Structure 1
Amino acid sequence: MANQVEIVDAQAMRRALMRMTYELIERNKGLDDVVIVGIKTRGAVIGKRMVERLQELEGITVPFIELDTADYRDDRESGVSEPQLNQAKSSVDITGKHIFLIDDVLYTGRTIRAAMDALMDRGRPNRISLVVLVDRGHRELPIRPDIIGKNIPTAKTEKVTVQLEEVDGQDLVMLSK
Structure 2
Amino acid sequence: MSEPNAAAESSQVMSAADIDRALTRIAHEIVEAQRGTHGLIILGIPRRGAPLAHRLGANLARIDADFTPDDAVGALDITMYRDDLGSGGARTPEPTDLPQAGIDGATVVLVDDVLFSGRTVRAALDALSDLGRPAAVRLAVLVDRGHRQLPVRADHVGKNLPTSREERVFVQLAGVDDVATEDEAVMITR
Same fold (TM over 0.5): yes
Unaligned runs of 5+ in 1: 79-85
Give the equivalent residue in structure 1 for 2:122. Answer: 113
Residue 81 of structure 2, aligned match among 50, 60, 72? 72
Residue 170 of structure 1, aligned match among 153, 178, 182? 182
Unaligned runs of 5+ in 2: 1-6, 88-93
Asked if residue 31 in structure 1 is aligned to residue 34 in structure 2, the reply is no
Q: Aligned partners of 2:20 and 2:32: how far apart in 1? A: 18
Give the equivalent residue in structure 2 for 1:131. Answer: 140
Cα displacement (A) at 1:32: 1.6
Give the equivalent residue in structure 2 for 1:61. Answer: 68
Q: Aligned partners of 2:27 and 2:68: how far apart in 1? A: 14
Q: Aligned partners of 1:56 and 1:72: how far apart in 2? A: 34
Q: Deviations over 1:58-110 (max 9, x none)?
A: 112141121111110001117xxxxxxx8723344101110001000000000
Q: Deviations over 1:16-55 (max 9, x none)?
A: 1111111111111221211001000110111000111111
Asked if residue 49 in structure 1 is aligned to residue 55 in structure 2, the reply is yes
**Aligned length in residues:** 172
Instruction: Report % sequence identity.
Output: 42
Q: Aligned partners of 1:45 and 1:92: how far apart in 2? A: 20
Cα displacement (A) at 1:136: 0.1
Give the equivalent residue in structure 2 for 1:81. Answer: none
Equivalent residues of 1:65, 1:92 under 8 A apart: no
Equivalent residues of 2:108, 2:138 under 8 A apart: yes
Give the equivalent residue in structure 1 for 2:102. Answer: 93
Deviates more, 1:121-130 or 1:6-15: 6-15
Give the equivalent residue in structure 2 for 1:142. Answer: 151
Q: Aligned partners of 1:32 and 1:13: how far apart in 2? A: 25
Q: Aligned partners of 2:83 and 2:101: how far apart in 1? A: 26
Moved over 6 A (4+): none
Q: Secondary structure at the match of 1:165?
A: coil
Question: Could you say if the C-alpha distance between residues 56 and 133 of structure 1 is closer, same or farther in structure 2, counting changes exceeding 3 Å?
Answer: same
Q: Secondary structure at the match of 1:89?
A: coil
